[in-house]
Amino acid sequence: MVRLLPFILLSCGMVACRSGIKPAESSLLVELHTGACFGYCPVIRLSVYANGVVEYEGKQFAERQGRATFQLTPDEIHQLRRQLRRANLWQYPDRIDSSVVDAPWSTLTTTKRGKTKSVVGTIDRPKPLLDLENLIHNLAERRGYQTRRGVPPGAVE
């Protein structure tokens, strides 16, 4: 057993290296987390990393449940970075209140130089934030991840 341990550790290390995600390249670029409403709004999380890897997590009322990953193209990464600069989350308060009670909330999060900024709101957010959210949704939906339309319980197996 003692001789087997180094082999197991080496094998695990080799598998981790093959993932292709290097720590320096995998810092969080932007994350979208959508929340529930009084209906069937999907609760999902899309985490986009600087190297273009996107982690999807479908939770409640999501058409695709569970976790998955996909890769953005260099053009999509560029487009997302440009929209993220336009949105400039840092200029907004952490929470943007709404008078619409039943609207689903969304949280946009970004990191820069080790600092994290999140903005939570619903449909009453400024256009640059809505544009950024729509771009993230579109990038996921191009790959078959339905992120805007929820499904009732039992409709997804």
For residue 7, the one-letter residue type is F
pLDDT of residue 3: 53
Q: What is the pLDDT of residues 52-80, one digit of tens each?
A: 999 999 999 999 999 999 999 999 999 99
Q: What is the pLDDT of residues 84-114, one digit of tens each?
A: 999 999 999 999 998 888 888 999 999 999 9
Residue with tokens 């619903």: 122
Helices (H) and strands (E) in the chain, counts: 3, 7
Strand partners, 57: 45, 67
- The angle, 0 to 180 degrees and rounded to 10, between the axes of the packed helices 127-141 and 74-87 is 160
pLDDT of residue 59: 94
Model confidence at 21, pLDDT cuts 50, 70, 90, reads very low
Model confidence at 149, pLDDT cuts 50, 70, 90, reads confident
Q: Residues 63, 66, 68, CA angle at the centre, nearest 5°? A: 100
Containing H/E element for 70? strand 66-71
Q: What is the pLDDT of residues 2-15, one digit of tens each?
A: 454 444 444 444 33
DSSP three-state, residue 108: strand
DSSP 91: G
Model confidence at 137, pLDDT cuts 50, 70, 90, reads very high
- Give residue limits of the domains in the chain: 23-141
Containing H/E element for 33? strand 28-34
Q: What is the CATH architecture assignment of 23-141?
A: 2-Layer Sandwich (3.30)
Backbone φ, ψ for residue 130 (5° rounding)? -65, -40
